[in-house]
Chains A and B, each alone.
Chain A
Amino acid sequence: MPHSDSFRFLFFSDLLGKRVFRADGSPLGRVADLIAVSGEPFPPVESVIVRSGKRRLQLPWNAVAQVNGGVRLHPGAEPVPAPAGPVADRVRLGDEVLDRQIVDIEGAKLVRVNDLHFLESKASLRVAHVDIGFRGLVRRMGWQRLVDRLVSTVRPGSRYLKDESLLPWKLVQPIESAPGRVRIEATKKALATLHPADLAEIMEELDRDHRQVLLERLDVETAADALEEASPEVAAELLQQVEPDKAADILEEMAPDESADVLSEIPGETREELLEAMEPPEAREVQALLAYPPDSAGGLMTPDRIQLYPEQTAADALAEVRRRAEEVPLVYEVFVVDNAGGLRGFATLKDVVLADPGTPISRIARDAPVTVAVTDRLRDVAIAATKYNLISVPVVDSRGVLQGIVTVDDILAEVVDAR
């Protein structure tokens, strides 16, 4: 490659606070910030903010002729007053990224930015990496040369010298910058690749405002998955901060038992408002669950289950599983009920798959070894599940009518929390 490969790497700490000179050599001020266009894998720096006395001035990056100790401008570069607030689809690297917490998508955690790593070529300066390592801290202190020399004399093979701790920009998500249309899609995609449980943990670690920002950038399904994993208190707090319509959408998307847990943490008036905004069938389901104390079988159960009449066949059962795949996320067994809804037995999915398609379900099903009442405590449900090795414990009312099931994952979560 001819001339175009004349590029080099630069750190933000090499630029920040550097003196800026006009073409004629007269001083203009010091570098205060860099503004990059967001939404690209390597965002180009669009302009540089220069602090001149009390004023903040903005210059396009292509007005910079040379970065070498100081920053020298091209002749005729005219600074304009810098915008005061955030601008859509632009990242203020100093204000919004440096020293802030960002989401590390690959490591699925929050990290603090110690420095930024740029790729400088003839025409442009692009953000390549964020530095989250100890060496970045040392560099910001202005001690890199000293510390590097010390470490390399004492222990030349030290991890400190080799570990760069640089994360590619495309694998991090700044939380503070103004999103704008371009960014939102990229952000949504990136965040959706995180496991909901990791996303929930990140949200719990964030402060209130940033949680809200993050939640607003998730699509409804990702948000619902993440909130199911978060503690009901945090989920409740978050939902009260987003628009009631979006909150209602998220609640509908969540499993009814989880959404009831969250709603029970929300104060009365707001709860009513959210229930009203939800689609009536989902709202009714959740409302029924809300009537039970949260640590009772009724409060723990989900009404979503596959339920059949005795005369239906194994083929009907499989058809029902397919039909309701969307609303019932976990299917391990199908339940058999009589016309009044009384529980007659259950069959595991394996039984159903292995049976001849025409076999009536009543012939495959066996009696449920145990049922719990809606008022039974968590402890009773946990004991029942452990004793009979059940994945789902059926919950019945006083007349023996099947109300829902408590699945073992919910029991585990409660038991671990109660510890």
Chain B
Amino acid sequence: MLADKGTAAPRRSLWGNLLVFLAVVGPGIITANVDNDAGGITTYSLAGAQYGNKLLWTLIPITVALVVVQEMSARMGVMTGKGLADLIRENFGVKVTFWVMVALLVADIGNTIAEFSGAAASLSIFGVPAWVSVPLTAAAVWILVLKGTYRQVEKVFLVACLFYIAYPISTFFAKPEWSTVVKATLTPSFETSGGYVAMLIGVVGTTIAPWMQFYLQSAVVEKGIKPEQYAHSRLDVVAGCIITDVVAFFIIVACAATIFKAGIKVETADQAALALGPLAGRYASWLFAFGLFNASFFAATILPLATAYYVCEAFGWESGIDKKWGEAKQFYWLYTGIVALGAAVVLTPHLPLLKIMLVSQIVNGVLLPFILIFMLLLVNDPKLMGAHRNGPWFNGVAWATTAIMIVLTGYLVVAGLRDLFAA
């Protein structure tokens, strides 16, 4: 509501809108970039390398689901001014909160392990062995966050995320058949082979993860976004979701146009880097290693920190990197523990790393439906949300999304458990 009069008004308000948008922007786009972490890049690369363009069609429904879920998180954050862990504790009590937090902790430790193995894989391309790269990365993550220069570094990470542009460029150089790509994106196709279904669920699961809802809502709260700025915040969230999936789209197409076409079976990070060959030639593996390392490191700083925050928020322990160690013991021990455990697991020889990741994926899968249902109950609570509850139409889409996610993750959990015991 600008009170400007005269001819300058429209330009002013456009400018004003842009300023507000820039002030509010951030949480959605940062969440999106953390979402494309080591697990994300790996999953999308494998999807393109093994199945070509066949999984592209899933990206449109995934984007819709992602927008629906993330929008609710952001709206709850803006309207209640509270984090999701906070709301769950206050509305569903200690027992529910305890189990949700235990599951979140296990799932996030699993995700952190994935980040550290991503860091190890990327640095191994430069010839650095894991026993050097992993402890160094863990120490760097730990010091970076606790010594409080994190806010500035976040910007560096975001700039480094421009690496993702390498995929679209490489895709154009690879000259895929665009008509096929567009057709594959717009027409759903389905295969009943177990591998295809598992990959489909993998893509969905890596894109919509439980931690994101906690992270986004807290980030929105911390940014202090007011209800009247919500329209801009929503734009940020939608932009973030679209960025996530556009990046996923180009990774899949690039891998389909190179690795899948050449019929290579991807087993190492070096082979996944072939997708960047049309752009970077023999430097492709370096570029890939750089991007993968940035993504792993970025997520490895955010995930353990965010997890420590939610757990402390839920149980009422003091938290925050501005507190001293003695004031926020639980917070620092949790943070340190997650980082140390994540790194230690990657380094332990003979530990079934793949099985551990499978367990973490299963826990993620079990947790997600609960989180989605809690979110829907909270977002429809008139005491909390007042007039900003879901409308009937939106609620329909949200419940349908939740139902589909429950079916998919249910399948993932069953298949995962079967694999776990079969192996």
B6 within 8 A of partner (CB):
no
Least distance between B310 CB and chain A CB atoms (Å)? 13
A13 to B57, CA, bound (A): 51
Residue of A109, A114, A140, A268 touching B318 (CB-CB under 8 A)? A109
Pick the contact of A114: B3, B81, B94, B226 (CB < 8 A): B94
Query: In the bound complex, do residue B315 and residue A112 qualify as a contact, i.e. CB atoms below 8 Å apart?
Result: yes
In angstroms, Cα B95 to Cα A132, docked, is 16
Instruction: Note all chain B residues with C-beta closer than 8 A to A132.
Output: 316
With a CB–CB cut-off of 8 A, which chain A residues contact B81? Answer: 207-210
Taking A140-B94, A208-B81, A233-B224 as known contacts, 14 extra A-B pairs with beta carbons closer than 8 A to each other, sorted by chain A number, are: A99-B90, A99-B93, A99-B94, A109-B318, A111-B316, A113-B316, A114-B94, A132-B316, A142-B95, A207-B80, A207-B81, A207-B221, A237-B224, A268-B3
Write the nearest CB–CB distance from A359 to chain B, whole angstroms: 50
B89 / chain A contacts, CB cutoff of 8 Å? 99, 112
Q: Which of A233, A234, A269 contacts B3 (CB 8 A)?
A: A269
A positions within 8 Å CB-CB of B? 99-101, 109, 111-114, 132, 137, 140-142, 207-210, 233-234, 237, 268-269
How far does the Cβ of A411 sit from chain B's closest Cβ, in whole Å?
A: 21
A12 to chain B, nearest CB (A): 11
**A208 to B227, alpha carbons, bound, how many Å?**
10
CB within 8 Å of A: which of B75-116? 80-82, 86, 89-90, 93-95, 98
Establish whether residues B316 and A112, one from each chain, have CB atoms under 8 Å apart when the complex forms.
Answer: yes
CB distance from A138 to the nearest CB of B (A): 10
Closest-by-CB residue of A relative to B77 is A207
Tell me if B315 and A137 are in contact (CB < 8 A): yes
**Contact flags B50-87 to A (C-beta < 8 A → 1, else 0):** 00000000000000000000000000000011100010
The docked-state distance in angstroms from the alpha carbon of A142 to that of B99 is 13
> In B211-226, which residues have CB < 8 Å from any A CB?
221, 224, 226
The residue among A137, A208, A209 with the most chain B CB atoms within 10 A of its own CB is A208
Contact B224 A137 (CB under 8 A): no
The 4 closest A-B pairs by CB, nearest first: A112-B316, A207-B81, A208-B81, A140-B94
By a CB distance below 8 angstroms, the chain B residues around A109 are 318
Report which of B86, B93, B226 forms a contact with A237, defined as CB distance below 8 A. Answer: B226
Q: Which of B1-25 contact A (CB under 8 A)?
A: 3
State in angstroms the CA–CA spacing of A176 and B37 once bound together. 40
Interface string of B268-298 (1 = CB under 8 A from A): 0000000000000000000000000000000
Give the shortest distance, in Å, between B43 (CB) and chain A (any CB): 36
Residues in A with CB closer than 8 Å to B80 are: 207, 209
Docked pose: A137 CA to B89 CA in angstroms: 12
Of A100, A111, A141, the contact of B90 (CB 8 Å cutoff): A100
Task: Tell me how far the C-beta of A143 lies from the nearest C-beta in chain B, rounded to whole angstroms.
Answer: 10
A141 touches B95 (CB 8 A): yes
Q: Distance (Å) between the CB of A182 and the closest chain B CB? A: 25
**What are 13 A-B pairs with beta-carbon distances under 8 A?**
A99-B89, A99-B90, A100-B90, A111-B316, A137-B94, A140-B94, A141-B95, A207-B80, A207-B221, A208-B81, A237-B224, A237-B226, A268-B3
Distance in angstroms from A314 CB to nearest chain B CB is 46
Report which of A101, A111, A112, A141 forms a contact with B98, defined as CB distance below 8 A.
A141
Beta-carbon contacts under 8 Å, B229-269 to A? none
Nearest-neighbour CB distance to chain A for B58, whole angstroms, equals 37
Q: Which residues of B contact A111 (CB under 8 A)?
A: 316
Q: Given A112-B316, A207-B82, A140–B95 Cβ distance below 8 Å?
A: yes
The residues of B that contact A208 with a CB separation of less than 8 Å are 81, 226
Contacts of B315 in A (CB 8 A): 112, 137
What are the residues of chain A within 8 A of B221 when measuring CB–CB?
Answer: 207
Bound-complex Cα distance A7 to B80 (A)? 41
List of A residues within 8 angstroms of B316 by Cβ: 101, 111-114, 132
Most buried by B among A99, A101, A234: A99
In the bound complex, how far is the Cα of B81 from the Cα of A130, in angstroms?
Answer: 25
List of A residues within 8 angstroms of B93 by Cβ: 99, 140
Residues in B whose Cβ lies below 8 Å from that of A112: 89, 315-316
CB nearest to A102 among chain B residues? B316
Which partner residue on chain A sits nearest B312 by CB separation? A112
Contacts of A233 in B (CB 8 A): 224
A269, B3: Cα distance in complex, Å: 8
In the assembled complex, which residues on chain B have CB atoms less than 8 Å from the CB atom of A100?
90
In the bound complex, what is the Cα–Cα distance between A210 and B81 (angstroms)? 9
Residues of A within 8 A of B95 (CB): 140-142
CB distance from B170 to the nearest CB of A (A): 41
By a CB distance below 8 angstroms, the chain B residues around A210 are: 81
- Interfacial chain A residues near B98, Cβ < 8 Å: 137, 141
Q: Would you give the shortest CB distance from A233 to chain B, in whole angstroms?
A: 7
Query: Which residues on the B side are within 8 Å of A137 (C-beta)?
Result: 94, 98, 315
Task: State whether A141 touches B3 (Cβ < 8 A).
Answer: no
From 187 to 226 in chain B, residues with beta carbon under 8 angstroms from any chain A beta carbon are 221, 224, 226
314-344 of chain B: CB within 8 A of chain A: 315-316, 318
Minimum CB–CB distance for B30 against chain A, Å: 20
Chain B residues whose C-beta falls within 8 Å of the C-beta of A207 in the assembled complex: 80-82, 86, 221
A-chain residues with CB within 8 Å of residue B226 when the two chains form the complex: 208, 237
B281 to A: closest C-beta gap in Å: 44
* Shortest CB distance A16–B (Å): 9
Cα separation A114 to B95 with both chains bound (whole Å): 11
Report the bound CA distance from A210 to B94 in whole Å.
21
Query: Whose C-beta in chain A lies nearest to the C-beta of B91?
Result: A99
B391 CB to nearest A CB, Å: 23
The winner among B81, B89, B226 for most chain A CB atoms within 10 A is B81
A98 to chain B, nearest CB (A): 8
Q: Which residues of A contact B90 (CB under 8 A)?
A: 99-100
In the complex, how many angstroms separate the beta carbon of A146 from the nearest chain B beta carbon? 14
Q: How far is the CA of A140 from the CA of B95 in the complex (A)?
A: 7
Q: Which of A101, A142, A269 has the most CB of B within 10 A?
A: A101
In the bound complex, residues from chain B placing their C-beta under 8 Å from that of A141 are: 94-95, 98
* A residues in contact with B86, CB < 8 Å: 207
Q: Determine the residue in chain A with the shortest Cβ distance to B97.
A: A99
A111 to B82, CA, bound (A): 15
Q: How far is the CA of A99 from the CA of B315 in the complex (A)?
A: 9
- Name the residue on A nearest B318 (C-beta): A109
Instruction: For A101, list chain B residues within 8 Å (CB).
Output: 316
Closest to B92 in A: A99
Whole-angstrom distance between the alpha carbons of A209 and B87 in the complex? Answer: 14
Bound: A141/B315 CA distance, A: 12
How far is the CB of B297 from the nearest CB of chain A, in Å?
Answer: 24
The chain A residue sitting closest to B330, CB to CB, is A134
Residues of A within 8 A of B318 (CB): 109
CB-nearest residue of chain A to B83: A207
For B79, give the chain A residue with the smallest CB separation.
A208
